[in-house]
A and B are shown apart, each in its own frame.
Chain A
Amino acid sequence: MIRDALLLASAALMGLTLWMVFFWVPTEANLGVSQRIFYFHVPIAILALSSIIVVAIASIIHLITRGQRSDDLAYSAAELGAVLATLAIVTGAIWAKPVWGVWWTWDPKLTLTLLLWFIYAGYLMLRAYGPKGSQGARYGAVIALMGAVNAPIIYYATELWQTAHPALLVGPAAESGSLDSDMALGLLVSTIVFVILAAYMLIERYSLRRSETAIDALYQYVG
């Protein structure tokens, strides 16, 4: 029921977002239409950062309670986070090309985001091919905590270092009024849509992970 509602809401709102992105929001004077990549890139990047926090919190809960559900949630969020981090890097590179003239530069924010991607990849590799059971979950929790430390550094990178990446436009460190009101509304709607879509995908993946865990338990029972 919740899943259907999330899917319907994201589909309906996605139509609205696409209309806003392509027809409604004003075109930025200097960057032209490529600035509209912002409405995809920023929400995806926010969710990629949020996912590692979810992984870390779920991992900590697992370490305290030893509950399987929290570990399954951590794994599911890590897998979704890996997809989101990949998309954030790729969409960022496509945005960088017309603006900076290069696809990639070793800017602190970009490099730290790539590090986050490697953290996700490392977590998934460890869980897939490392020790199984609670030992694997414990090792995974250590990687997740490293990622959680990295996440705020990525967010504040433009404040901490001189970077080519645009200054913060959203979140607690963003200056108020730094974004045109129509652009801010477009970004808000886009962010809500991607959050709903990510929530739907996380619930789906979590449900699948629970089934995988149940199957593993059955295999052990059968022998």
Chain B
Amino acid sequence: MPYINMLVSTPSGRLSMVALAFVALSLLWAGNVLASEGVDQGEAQVVVVAQEQNSDPEANLPFLFAVYIITWGGFFAYSFAMSRRQREIQRELDALKAVIADKESQPGAG
């Protein structure tokens, strides 16, 4: 449990966990897709299907939008994580300033 708390306590730790989980799930998903299509994962047969299957040039529009959304979602999530960390830092800084002021105001403080 303490290790999980350590992992989620920093933005980079959380980012790494989420990204790791995302990539692991993607790989598992890719593995399932390969298995369900009867393709040997060791020698994944790459088939150029675009010419045969996609006579309609608009057919893959959802893939383009998915990339667009994921790209901007990713940048947004990272920016959000940074701004949240910035607020935490500001809070910590205020608390530390109060502690230091308290220390220096005590009698005999140099």
Residues of A within 8 A of B (CB): 27, 30-34, 36-37, 40-41, 44, 79-80, 82-83, 86-87, 89-91, 93-95, 97-107, 114, 117, 121, 124-125, 127-129, 164, 197, 201, 204-205, 208, 211-212, 215, 218-219, 221-222
Binary interface encoding of chain B residues 15-30 relative to chain A, with 1 for a CB under 8 A from any of its CBs, else 0? 1100110110011011
**CB atoms of A98 and B63 under 8 A apart:** yes
**Of B26, B47, B60, B99, the contact of A93 (CB 8 Å cutoff):** B26
**CB atoms of A100 and B63 under 8 A apart:** no
Q: How far is the CB of A216 from chain B (nearest CB, A)?
A: 10
Q: How far is the CB of A118 from chain B (nearest CB, A)?
A: 9
**Chain B: interface residue total (CB-CB under 8 A):** 56
Known contacts A90-B26, A215-B96; 13 additional CB pairs below 8 A are A32-B60, A79-B15, A83-B19, A94-B67, A98-B63, A102-B30, A121-B20, A125-B16, A127-B12, A201-B79, A208-B85, A219-B96, A222-B100
**CB atoms of A86 and B23 under 8 A apart:** yes
Interface residue ranges of B1-41 to A (CB < 8 Å): 6, 10-13, 15-16, 19-20, 22-23, 26-27, 29-30, 33-34, 37, 39, 41
Instruction: Chain A residues near B11: list those with CB within 8 A.
Output: 79
Q: How far is the CB of A80 from chain B (nearest CB, A)?
A: 8
Instruction: Chain A residues near B64: list those with CB within 8 A.
Output: 33-34, 36-37
Binary interface encoding of chain B residues 38-75 relative to chain A, with 1 for a CB under 8 A from any of its CBs, else 0? 01011010111111001011111101101110110011
Complex CA gap A85/B36 in Å reads 28
Top-8 shortest CB links A-B: A104-B30, A34-B60, A105-B44, A164-B46, A32-B57, A103-B30, A98-B60, A101-B49
Complex CA gap A83/B42 in Å reads 28
Q: How far is the CB of B95 from chain A (nearest CB, A)?
A: 10
**CB atoms of A121 and B70 under 8 A apart:** no
Given contact pairs A86-B74, A102-B33, A124-B12, A41 touches B67 in the complex (Cβ within 8 A) = yes
**CB atoms of A87 and B63 under 8 A apart:** no
Instruction: Chain B residues near A212: list those with CB within 8 A.
Output: 85, 89
**Of B23, B44, B59, the contact of A117 (CB 8 Å cutoff):** B23
Q: How far is the CB of A157 from chain B (nearest CB, A)?
A: 15
Instruction: Chain B residues near A106: list those with CB within 8 A.
Output: 41-42, 44
**CB atoms of B50 and A31 under 8 A apart:** yes
**CB atoms of B16 and A104 under 8 A apart:** no
Q: How far is the CB of B41 from chain A (nearest CB, A)?
A: 8
**Of B20, B59, B82, B99, the contact of A204 (CB 8 Å cutoff):** B82
